[in-house]
Amino acid sequence: MAALRTRRRVMIASSLLASAATAGALLVAAPSDAAPKTGELAGKTVFLDPGHQGSAAGHQLNKQVNDGRGGKKDCQTTGATAIGGKAEHTITWEVSQLVKAALESKGARVLMSRKDDTGWGGCVDERAEAASRSGADLAVSIHADSTSTGADPTKSGFHLIVPTLPLPDKAADAAQSNGGRKASNTVRDAMKKAGFAPANYAGAVDGIQTRSDIAGANLTRIPLAFVEMGNLSDPAEAAVLSSPQGATKYAVALTDGITSYLSGRAAQANPTAPAPDDGAKPSAPAAPEDPSTSTDLSGLSGVEAIGPLINKLAKAKSPGDAQRILMTDGQDVSADVLKAILSVVYAVFGGKLPI
Report the DSSP pairing between strands 159-163 and 224-231. Answer: antiparallel
**Distance between the two ends of the chain, CA-based, in angstroms?**
31
115: helix, strand or coil: coil
Separation of alpha carbons 302 and 286, rounded Å: 20
Per DSSP, what are the bridge partners of residue 7? none
Residue ranges of the alpha helices (H) in the chain?
2-18, 20-29, 88-105, 124-134, 170-175, 181-193, 215-219, 235-242, 244-263, 306-314, 319-328, 335-348
Kindly give the interhelix angle for 88-105 and 244-263, rounded to the nearest 10 degrees: 50
Type and span of the H or E element at 230 = strand 224-231
Is residue 116 within 8 A of residue 190, CB to CB? The reply is: no
CA atoms within 13 A on the CB side of 61: 11
Quickly list DSSP for 251-264.
Answer: HHHHHHHHHHHHHT
Separation of alpha carbons 184 and 300, rounded Å: 23
Separation of alpha carbons 247 and 263, rounded Å: 24
94 part of the active site = no
Separation of alpha carbons 149 and 78, rounded Å: 14
Query: Which residue of the set 94, 104, 228, 304 is catalytic?
Result: 228
Burial degree of 237 (CB within 10 A; 0-12, 13-18, 19+): buried
Type and span of the H or E element at 197 = none
Interior CA angle at 157 toward 151 and 160, to 5°?
A: 125
Q: Could you list the active site residues? A: 228
